[in-house]
Structure 1
């Protein structure tokens, strides 16, 4: 017995570091601290330990204490490893759609879903064939469906194209009925254009007030971006007694409210006018005035086929301006389809025995330049205004905002209504001296006997309503598509209105030109859609 005791004590000393390490680990586990504390008390109260064992315990306790201090010093480095540990099985999905691999062959293009490549932040469930009704009524409303799904985005663009084209056709019908073929002919295009712009501004004021009144149902539908701003932009750095306003008279307060108050079109009052914003919108207003005025002059003194022949250079000018000013590289399909559709439209509009006046031809050709330039200037001005409103450091994408009422959404809405307000106001201010000094108003007051006829003013108001619809929706179409596409919408509309206004009585070459023009327009639609898919794939793969 005594001979085996040293061997037993030696064996215990050899394995004691491992046992003490395991005991320390077990002691640190939750729920075991009290149990080990009681056990240590019982060991301390026992007096059967000899001197050798007690010294061994103290020695290994010191070693455990040094090891514990060393592990506590390395705890921070253990929490922050040099290489990130990624759990592949629990990795969350990216908010952006998966881009197509560059190594994917062209034969697999039919299996590629455009919902994953064209629209960012698309609702994957709806894009993969989910219920449209659930997407409309439960996931952001109608705005979430339009701006959050690929199918909704296609429907939104199609509605805009048909709306702009239909409103343009209705406006042409009303102008034709007022100036040329109606019971009351009003052959004064300058004054007629001025009156139409003034009434358009009044309808725009009524429309913005209507959106504010319907703000709650529009936001429930996810169309809160359509609500016009009700208050001006909050000035930066205001506060304290230094900026306290001095007491003003009643007339000064009313004038201040009209020019820098609340309401109006863009939220800055009924007659909101900021010199800094007006300088930025002035080039657009000049182009808009020349576009509308020259187009009405050409239309008032020429039949419809001659008017369309004079406006044929619109699409070639749009291609040139987009290449020079926007640095766009159009594909061969886009160029071919646009030019061929324009050629067939001119072929359908040609008449051998048609009366031609030089005034209408000159005005039509010059108006073509400003018609092609207007969408480009419109988009450029809108982007300039929105860059002034967005706080420094924020980034806006090239896509419309989602249906939520985010800050960027409110700034885009304010920039949209500012473009409409300042373009309309500056156009009226530019045409006012021209109308006054032209001498047309006294001549109209003396020689026009039907100014007090209600039906005449009803036609004028209907023409102003069509002008407002085209004026307000053109910017939406340019934002959703491109300036070239917004300009090209007039080509299929011209072929359609040529058939309708001639009451389906056209020569055979005109029918051939109309049919081929429509086929070329479908070709243009497919080409632009494929071009947009290619650009979005490159953008997503570049991320």
Structure 2
């Protein structure tokens, strides 16, 4: 008997399911199936019984995209078994970036790390400016020194990732390896040869090789610099204004007023993300974020405390730059990643409007190395350009002449140890901040400061009245509400799109 029977459906080049008729021999026109439906079974349904389901992990749920040969490894049983796959080669990366439980662990670690380092930076700067033995009340110069040391630490970190490329590959985090050359990279981050610790640090000071993004210590490209110009300006404004505002509050008793002057960060972030990224915030997100912010406002109120107008003005204006920075940083990263893709290739297999919502498109192996390079390019140019813009401000401020005449402790090692600690804190916030923005959203990354500010009021705010304790408790409850809302929304999106993170 001759007839026409449907082939097993497959995905076409556009990603749609196709049903292709073909002529075969001795095939009856009866579909023996468990389902009474006359339509062919979907791929996911056919695979749910005995086969392993392909896992397409969204780009936003990974810090950096791994190379093409890793994509085949993260498909299959290991990605479905969750934490049990950690003990296999590449299992840690598959667990963190390919499972729902791992994604939650990854985001939680980033939040705790950035929040803790932010508190350490505030405490160190407070000690440097007016509570330590060697007081250094020059916020612009302090900011310039800290950003300069943080830039050097960023170069050292990039060289370290190249030196330990093999261990990172074993852990499944090959995408963290910084590019070593401005040209195409190999799978390990090097063009040729076996990487070693000595060659990695020698390449740090070799022109055109090494550095942060593979183009050398003084890497500069005009087109790339223009793309990175907005986040660099916003980063400089955020850092300078925040430090100026913080330096003007010269006692622990007025720390709540520093928090009060920056209380508008979350409402402004909600507004900017809605207009600039066209994100539609849910009612639960709006309610939880504003509830935590209003209770932080209640905890920050201190009647009868005198403040300087400079601290209030700089604190209020800093909220604009704090709210803008994650948006500009993420937009620049995506623009650089797109510009690095060779003509004719696609960065993603599904390409909706990148700024339409917090849910990002599925990843495609063709864009893995370009996204790694775009990450380090964003860090390099943002840090370098902000230092360039800050230098004339330091020279024009007159702080250098005051330091020359008044500071007698510049040769004291303990003073530079304080500066080094603050610089390390700056680096440990700046480098993973883009990873947090990618993994969550600009709003969620900005919201990390709310529970941290509440914690700072308890630790450093001095004696707190009853209403302040109530405000802190309700602020933390609002933070848990916000985290639960964001988790539920991410879970629904992952399951609804079949991203493979629902297990």
Same fold, TM-score > 0.5, yes or no: yes
Q: Structure 1 residue 453 and structure 2 residue 412: aligned?
A: yes
Q: After the TM superposition, which residues 79-478 of structure 1 pair with which residues of structure 2 at under 5 Å, given as runs?
A: 94=44, 130=81, 132=83, 134-138=84-88, 140-234=90-184, 261-302=208-249, 303-391=254-342, 392-396=344-348, 398=360, 407-478=366-437
Q: How many residues align?
A: 424
Q: Structure 1 residue 482 and structure 2 residue 432: aligned?
A: no
After superposition, the Cα gap between the structure-2 partners of 1:142 and 1:117, relative to the gap in structure 1 and judged at 3 Å, is closer
Structure 2 regions of 5+ residues with no counterpart? 1-21, 35-39, 49-54, 63-70, 186-203, 351-359
DSSP 3-state at the match of 1:473: helix
Residues 259 and 268, structure 1, Cα contact 8 Å, conserved in 2: no
DSSP 3-state at the match of 2:478: helix
Q: Distance in 2 between matches of 1:96 and 1:143?
A: 28
After superposition, the Cα gap between the structure-2 partners of 1:517 and 1:284, relative to the gap in structure 1 and judged at 3 Å, is same
Residues 331 and 531, structure 1, Cα contact 8 Å, conserved in 2: no
Q: Distance in 2 between matches of 1:379 and 1:454?
A: 38
After superposition, the Cα gap between the structure-2 partners of 1:522 and 1:97, relative to the gap in structure 1 and judged at 3 Å, is farther
Residues 347 and 363, structure 2, Cα contact 8 Å, conserved in 1: no
Q: State the shift of 1:316 in Å.
A: 0.5
1:4-57 Cα deviation digits (max 9, x unpaired): xxxxxxxxxxxxxxxxxxxxxxxxxxxxxxxxxxxxxxxxxxxxxxxxxxxxxx
Q: State the shift of 1:92 in Å.
A: 9.8
Match of 1:53 in 2: none
After superposition, the Cα gap between the structure-2 partners of 1:84 and 1:359, relative to the gap in structure 1 and judged at 3 Å, is farther
Match of 2:476 in 1: 518
Which is richer in helix? 1
Q: Distance in 2 between matches of 1:307 and 1:264?
A: 37
**Superposed structure 1 runs of 4+ greater than 6 Å apart:** 83-92, 95-98, 115-124, 257-260, 399-402
After superposition, the Cα gap between the structure-2 partners of 1:537 and 1:117, relative to the gap in structure 1 and judged at 3 Å, is farther
DSSP 3-state at the match of 1:441: helix
Q: State the shift of 1:356 in Å.
A: 0.9
After superposition, the Cα gap between the structure-2 partners of 1:453 and 1:479, relative to the gap in structure 1 and judged at 3 Å, is same
Q: State the shift of 1:167 in Å.
A: 0.9
Q: Distance in 2 between matches of 1:266 and 1:444?
A: 35
Q: Distance in 1 between matches of 2:167 and 2:495?
A: 36
After superposition, the Cα gap between the structure-2 partners of 1:481 and 1:91, relative to the gap in structure 1 and judged at 3 Å, is same
TM-score of the superposition, structure 1-length normalised?
A: 0.72
Q: Distance in 1 between matches of 2:137 and 2:47?
A: 57
Q: Distance in 1 between matches of 2:382 and 2:234?
A: 10
After superposition, the Cα gap between the structure-2 partners of 1:487 and 1:86, relative to the gap in structure 1 and judged at 3 Å, is farther
TM-score of the superposition, structure 2-length normalised?
A: 0.77
Q: Distance in 2 between matches of 1:157 and 1:529?
A: 10
Residues 168 and 470, structure 1, Cα contact 8 Å, conserved in 2: yes
Bigger Rg, which one: 1
Structure 1 regions of 5+ residues with no counterpart? 1-76, 99-114, 236-256
Q: State the shift of 1:139 in Å.
A: 5.6
Match of 1:531 in 2: 489
Q: State the shift of 1:116 in Å.
A: 11
1:106-126 Cα deviation digits (max 9, x unpaired): xxxxxxxxx999989987756
Moved more, 176-185 or 454-463: 176-185
Residues 330 and 437, structure 2, Cα contact 8 Å, conserved in 1: yes
Q: Distance in 2 between matches of 1:490 and 1:352?
A: 24
Q: State the shift of 1:340 in Å.
A: 1.2
1:517-538 Cα deviation digits (max 9, x unpaired): 0011111111112222344455
